[in-house]
Amino acid sequence: MRETRVLVVGEMGALREALRAPVREPLRVELREVPSVPEAEAALETFQPDVVLVDWRLPEAEAFLERVRPRPLGLILIGPPLPAPEIVRWLRQGVHDFLLAPDHPDEVVETIRQALDRVQERRRILGLVERLQRQLQQLSVLYEVGQTLAASLRLEEILPPMVEAAIHFTGAEEGSVWLLDKSGEVLRLYLHRSRIPEPEVAAPPTTLRVADSLPGRAIRTGRPILLGPGLHKLDTGVLVRALLYVPMQAHGRALGVLGVVHRLSEAGFSEADVHLLRMLGDYAAVAIEKARLFEAMQTEKGKLEAILQGIEEPVLVTDFAENLILLNRAAQQHLGLPAEAMGRPLRAVVAHEELHALFDRKPLPGHTVRQEITLSDRLTFQASLTAVAGVGYVVVMQDITYLKELDRIKSEFLSIVSHDVRTPLTTIRGYVSLLPRVGPLNPRQQEFVEKVERAMRTIVELLNNLLDLSRLESGHALSMERCSPTQILHEAIQIIRPQAEEKGQALVLEIPPDLPTLYGDPRRLEQVFLNLLSNAVKYTPPGGRITVRAMERDGHLMVQVSDTGVGIPPADLPHIFSKFYRVRREGETTEGTGLGLAIVKSIVERHGGRVWAESEVGKGSTFTVLLPCRPEAPPAPSPRRAREASPQHAEPPHEQQHSQPDPIAAGQAPPEGNPTG
């Protein structure tokens, strides 16, 4: 411990002797005496006393004490004794004690020691305050660094303030950031800041190997590298007196090194500096990781956007609140959307009824709904809307205008051909039926005539079905009216009953009398049930059972035709609603055109409903028809929509849509983009 420095201002007199005399507890004192206040002022700086003894009789003594009062010094008055009120006044001036007996060694030492104790206590408190202030300042800078980090994603904005903060708090002369490259073997100098005015003569190297450099060691060990005061040569060739490197780690992975050095100053770095730099290093690592992630994201986003823009089909993406979040050029052009449409609600910027209807159908995440959409430029698109979890709705529109046109030409052709073939056929049929009347036929001839008649019946049935389908598909208007499904079902059953009885099949009916009214074409709906029933009779062996069930379910009429027949193999099941598709079974002689179910599907869809089948080979089949119960006409649909796609209320409720047991939902039968197959 250094000696206690005691400055005596005034006449020392007996004091010197007293301090020299042996005492009970000696005090190591370095004494200095000045005769007047001005000299005392100078000695404050040169001598740096711990305790000052001032003769109160000196001129300016009071002013001097007033001035030194803020300093952490012990202040003692000397001189002749003073009356009590005077002593109190001096004490209030900040004087700590009054030396009454300067010639008494124990008294002198004790007075000085007491003043010294107070001084030390005051110095300790001042030190604490200073430390607290420093920490507070550090915290506020760290807070600012944190703020920058939160506000910015650019390394060039985040890292410089961090290096500045590192230099500032550690008192270093230089600071730098080294970033690890992709290989993890090389460190590149990203940033270097120096407080030393002269610039570097030779530019230091900007890359270092992790394997054999000092900053590399911080990466390899994952620990700070601290070299104390002394001369050290850095890997960059620069001489420094102290250095501190900390690894910048995020999630246990080193991303680089933050370092500070003293080039000229003898001061070293403390544990507190290590702690602070590690904290800054961790901050910096988070910032780097964030910035890189953001950069990678931006790059990916850029690529995706380029791909999206390059796609010829219109594509648009909305969030789940239906605000537009992505849009490609094709979508912009076809839907006539301005660039400002981005971020706005889709329905506010696109006035397209069919597109709105598609969004009304809102599928569950991972599911897709499709609808044909006709735009004002007379183009028809097959739009599919998929709900993508975490993103929103993605709509891709495929141009099917040429398919629609082909379809129209095909239907027209079919209708002309069927019509033109039917007339001569009727003539042939007439003449064939007349043959037995114009002369007796021998048994061989009779057999041939019957064969011709059977073949003619099939051709006529085929032509009728073709014409029927072509009418349905070309949007031929249905005769819609309020109708009773109970009545329609009973009429169909009435027609089919003789055929079932002929095959000894039981017809079981589970049709409640109070089924809801439908808005539909009763003749077409009867055709639906007739086709299903006639198939059930056709494909069920004699003695089998056919059940017709009808019920109301979630605003829909559900009719099921089940049989105990031959069943449909799983491989055929997805195709049975396609035109001309017939299941090939060994030894089967059942006649048919393969158009019955296509007609069923077409009619059901024209009514906004769905039809599907479930079946098990050898056990039987169940065909389910789901029709929306609408007692009145739906609000005026566009003529095109009425002809083509199922409007939104045509769909069964979502839960049902997704829990349908098989993939044979009517919508799946035709290949994509060609609703008529």
- Write out the residues near ligand ADP by the rule CB under 6 A: 535-536, 539, 563, 565-568, 576, 581-583, 592-598, 621
473 in Cβ contact with 676 (< 8 Å): yes
Smallest gap from Cβ 435 to ligand ADP, in A, equals 29
Q: What angle (nearest 5°) sits at the alpha carbon of residue 612, between those of residues 642 and 609? A: 25
Closest CA to 490 of 518, 466, 516, 509: 509
Question: Closest CB to ligand ADP among 43 and 469?
Answer: 469
Smallest gap from Cβ 665 to ligand ADP, in A, equals 16
Query: Distance between CA atoms of 419 and 245, rounded to whole angstroms?
Result: 93
Residue where the block lists tokens 């099921």 = 560
Query: Distance between CA atoms of 509 and 418, rounded to whole angstroms?
Result: 37
Query: Distance between CA atoms of 315 and 272, rounded to whole angstroms?
Result: 57
Question: Closest CB to ligand ADP among 37 and 600?
Answer: 600
Helix or strand holding residue 495 (H, E)? helix 485-502
556 in Cβ contact with 522 (< 8 Å): no
Question: Closest CB to ligand ADP among 589 and 659?
Answer: 589
Using Cβ positions, the residue closest to ligand ADP within the complex turns out to be 592
DSSP codes joined into one string, 655-671: HHHHH-SSS--GGGSSP
Query: Distance between CA atoms of 89 and 79, rounded to whole angstroms?
Result: 15
Closest CA to 29 of 21, 15, 19: 19
Would you give the DSSP letter of residue 83? -
Question: Closest CB to ligand ADP among 91 and 467?
Answer: 467
Query: Distance between CA atoms of 368 and 395, rounded to whole angstroms?
Result: 9
DSSP codes joined into one string, 499-517: HHHHTT-EEEEE--TTPPP
Smallest gap from Cβ 634 to ligand ADP, in A, equals 28
Question: Closest CB to ligand ADP among 403 and 537?
Answer: 537
Question: Closest CB to ligand ADP among 403 and 469?
Answer: 469
Would you give the DSSP letter of residue 210? S
Smallest gap from Cβ 573 to ligand ADP, in A, equals 9
Question: Closest CB to ligand ADP among 399 and 468?
Answer: 468
Helix runs in 152-270, H state only: 155-170, 214-221
Closest CA to 26 of 82, 123, 109: 109
Terminal-to-terminal C-alpha distance of the chain: 103
Question: Closest CB to ligand ADP among 535 and 657?
Answer: 535
Q: Which two tokens stand for residue 620?
A: 């039987």
Q: Which two tokens stand for residue 464?
A: 């009728």
Query: Distance between CA atoms of 209 and 360, rounded to whole angstroms?
Result: 60
Smallest gap from Cβ 294 to ligand ADP, in A, equals 57
Smallest gap from Cβ 462 to ligand ADP, in A, equals 9
241 in Cβ contact with 231 (< 8 Å): yes
Question: Closest CB to ligand ADP among 364 and 509?
Answer: 509
Smallest gap from Cβ 599 to ligand ADP, in A, equals 8
Smallest gap from Cβ 315 to ligand ADP, in A, equals 37
Question: Closest CB to ligand ADP among 319 and 572?
Answer: 572
Smallest gap from Cβ 540 to ligand ADP, in A, equals 7
Smallest gap from Cβ 619 to ligand ADP, in A, equals 11
